[in-house]
């Protein structure tokens, strides 16, 4: 099989060394246990087809991979499959301003796409915090969001069509750049499927026009409850900001030590709110947000006075996770969604869970849509500490589900949240999800062992068991 893969690509683009296999057995999550087979770096749709056909011929599974920034173990190879790294397919193929669409390959980095469009007056709206490194293909796989998804929606709202190579090696195009496609929305089924339905090789994305005016506010509060209430009250007032991000005192101070973004150090919580649109409307909405914040005991209110100051405030928010390294060497970042009205209650539960497990907890999250990202800090070199992190993480997930929340807002299920799928979905729900998957990939050869739990994905389990652990030597 290795010989066939190298013949189809080249020896240089099919790696099999121990160092490569170790590196590609991991993603950015805390989950161990991956085992990689050969790592392939295709440069075209035809080469992805060749890989799929060789995998089918040799009865091997395939795992697609982007930049490896996923946080739920979705790109971890299980059972020594072929890893298909899409990072060399990184070309912006076509930009059609007249129709507001661009065709890109999956390895295009999120921020690179927006930077390439900026001079044309457009952007790609989904902006995950990892947008400097994450790829469009990975965004599609996990239906990624970001701070500005409150107003603009997550990746699904910005993908018109996808060219996909199925496990058989056949190529299909899901969706249409001409508007709603006829029949079932298979494009919508593919977005967020975490690489279990096939491999995207070309993606048509919707372009968003840059707003004529932007106002960015930094609001501080003496309690997290006041900040959370402000978020709920702003939305209840009919205001839809482009973004509303909340950070607690601990992460705010870490960010200030790291980049000096200008956040107040004495606040229990800060709220970064941004409104976009026509000049007059932006001014009205920003003033209304200030009034709502004042009614909820805001300590301070600051408006960014320049684009440089605005960029620095956002740099602080988007580098928050990097700032943690000055406190602890490791962190476990969660992702779940709760109703806005339950934000304060769930946050109090999260702090209590962390204290009970003797773990430091920080919170930075997409408050506008209730997408929580609690951070559990730890030192993986200390025996037993990671086990406490996982125990606390399980309690946090269940605390979110208990108030009517859902398992993921943008990170996906992967292997991290697999054990909780039966707590959100009924047996019939999971059965039908498995049937959908089999309709794309009858033998479950693409990214096996992910998303669906045991008992609802027997083909996954059988595929993994058919590959002995030591098959690659």
Question: Which CATH number goes with the domain that contains 254?
Answer: 3.30.70.2190
Q: Do residues 49 and 89 make contact, with C-beta atoms less than 8 angstroms apart? A: no
Does residue 73 form part of some domain? Answer: no
Strand ranges, E, within 318-400: 330-333, 336-337, 360-366, 371-372, 374-378
Show which of 156, 175, 209 is a domain's final residue: 209
Show which of 175, 209, 243 is a domain's final residue: 209
Regions of the chain with pLDDT less than 70: 181, 457-473
Predicted local confidence at residue 317, as pLDDT = 94
Predicted local confidence at residue 465, as pLDDT = 43
How many folded domains does the chain comprise?
3
Show which of 292, 321, 350 is a domain's final residue: 321
Mark whether 97 and 116 lie in a shared domain: yes
Mark whether 310 and 367 lie in a shared domain: no
Domain limits at 193?
Answer: 92-209
Does residue 384 form part of some domain? Answer: yes
Q: Do residues 270 and 230 make contact, with C-beta atoms less than 8 angstroms apart? A: no
Predicted local confidence at residue 460, as pLDDT = 57
Residues contacting 200, CB < 8 A, separation 6+ = 64, 106, 137, 140, 141, 162, 163, 164, 190
Q: Do residues 275 and 289 make contact, with C-beta atoms less than 8 angstroms apart? A: yes
Mark whether 201 and 225 lie in a shared domain: no
Mean per-residue pLDDT of the chain: 94
Strand ranges, E, within 130-268: 159-165, 171-175, 199-206, 208-209, 213-221, 243-248
Q: Count Cα neighbours of 284 within 13 Å in the Cβ-side half-sphere.
A: 9
Task: Using alpha carbons, list the distances in angstroms from residue 407 to 50, 198, 394, 400, 416.
Answer: 36, 23, 11, 8, 10
Domain containing residue 177: CATH number: 3.30.465.10
Q: What values do phi and psi take at 158, rounded to 5? A: -125, 15
Does residue 450 form part of some domain? Answer: no
Give the pLDDT confidence of 314-330 residue by residue, as tens digits: 999 999 998 999 999 99
Nearest to 311 by CA among 118, 104, 70, 101: 118
Does residue 251 form part of some domain? Answer: yes
Predicted local confidence at residue 355, as pLDDT = 97
Does residue 224 form part of some domain? Answer: yes
Predicted local confidence at residue 183, as pLDDT = 82
**What 3-state DSSP class applies to 303?**
strand
Mark whether 203 and 223 lie in a shared domain: no
Does residue 71 form part of some domain? Answer: no
Task: State pTM to two decimals.
Answer: 0.93
The DSSP string of 234-290 is: HHHTT---SEEEEEEHHHHHHHHHHH-----TT-SEEEEEEEEESHHHHHHHHHHHH
Mark whether 350 and 373 lie in a shared domain: yes
Mark whether 105 and 191 lie in a shared domain: yes
Mark whether 335 and 371 lie in a shared domain: yes
């Amino acid at each position: 099989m290795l010989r066939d893969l190298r013949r189809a690509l080249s020896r240089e683009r099919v790696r099999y060394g121990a160092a490569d296999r170790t590196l590609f057995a991991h993603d950015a999550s805390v989950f161990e246990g991956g085992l990689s087979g050969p790592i392939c770096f295709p440069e075209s749709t035809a080469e992805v087809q060749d890989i799929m056909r060789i995998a089918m011929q040799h009865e091997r599974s395939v795992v697609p991979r982007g930049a490896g920034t996923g946080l739920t173990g979705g790109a971890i190879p299980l059972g020594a499959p072929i890893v298909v790294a899409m990072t060399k397919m990184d070309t912006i193929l076509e930009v059609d301003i007249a129709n507001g669409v661009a065709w890109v390959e999956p390895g295009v980095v999120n921020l690179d796409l927006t930077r390439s469009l900026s001079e044309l007056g457009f952007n790609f709206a989904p902006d995950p915090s990892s947008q400097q490194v994450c790829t469009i293909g990975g965004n599609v796989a996990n239906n990624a969001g970001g701070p500005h998804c409150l107003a603009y929606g997550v990746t699904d709202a910005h993908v018109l069509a996808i060219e996909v190579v199925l496990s058989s090696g056949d190529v299909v195009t899901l969706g249409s750049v001409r508007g709603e496609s006829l029949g079932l929305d298979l494009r919508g089924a593919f977005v967020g499927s975490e690489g279990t339905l096939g491999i995207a090789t070309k993606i048509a994305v919707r372009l968003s026009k840059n707003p004529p005016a932007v106002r960015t506010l930094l609001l501080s509060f003496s309690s997290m409850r006041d900040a959370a209430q402000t978020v709920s009250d702003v939305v209840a007032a009919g205001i839809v900001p482009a973004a509303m991000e909340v950070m607690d005192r601990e992460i705010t101070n870490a960010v200030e030590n790291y980049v000096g973004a200008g956040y107040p150090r004495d606040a229990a919580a800060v709220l970064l709110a941004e409104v976009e649109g026509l000049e007059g409307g932006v001014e009205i909405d920003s003033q209304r947000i200030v009034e709502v914040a004042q009614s909820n005991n805001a300590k301070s209110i600051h408006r960014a006075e320049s684009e440089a100051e605005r960029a620095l405030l956002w740099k602080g928010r988007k580098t928050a996770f990097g700032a943690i390294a000055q406190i602890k060497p490791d962190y476990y970042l969660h992702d779940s969604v709760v109703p806005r009205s339950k934000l304060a209650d769930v946050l109090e539960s999260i702090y209590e869970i962390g204290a009970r497990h003797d773990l430091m907890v920080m919170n930075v999250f997409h408050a506008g849509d209730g997408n929580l990202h609690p951070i559990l800090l730890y030192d993986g070199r200390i025996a037993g500490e990671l086990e406490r992190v996982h125990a606390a993480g399980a309690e946090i997930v269940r605390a979110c589900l208990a108030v009517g929340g859902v398992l993921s807002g943008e990170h996906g299920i992967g292997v991290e949240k697999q054990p909780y799928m039966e707590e959100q979905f009924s047996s019939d729900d999971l059965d039908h999800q498995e049937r959908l998957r089999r309709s794309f990939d009858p033998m479950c050869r693409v990214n096996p062992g992910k998303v669906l739990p045991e008992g609802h994905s027997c083909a996954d389990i059988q595929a993994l068991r058919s590959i002995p652990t030591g098959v690659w030597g």
